[in-house]
Structure 1
Amino acid sequence: MGASWSEAAPEEWHDIVGGLLMVGGLVYNLERQVIVGLIPRPSVLPVLALGLQQTEKWEQREERH
Structure 2
Amino acid sequence: MELTTFDGALLVYNYAVILSGGAIVLSLDVQSRTGLLVIGLLVAVFWTGYFKFVMIQRLPERQRE
More helix by share: 2
Q: Do these two structures clear the TM 0.5 threshold for a shared fold by scoring above it?
A: no
More strand by share: 1
Name the larger-Rg structure.
2
Alignment TM-score, normalising by the size of structure 1: 0.30
Structure with the bigger RCO (C-alpha within 8 Å, sep 6+) is 2
Alignment TM-score, normalising by the size of structure 2: 0.30
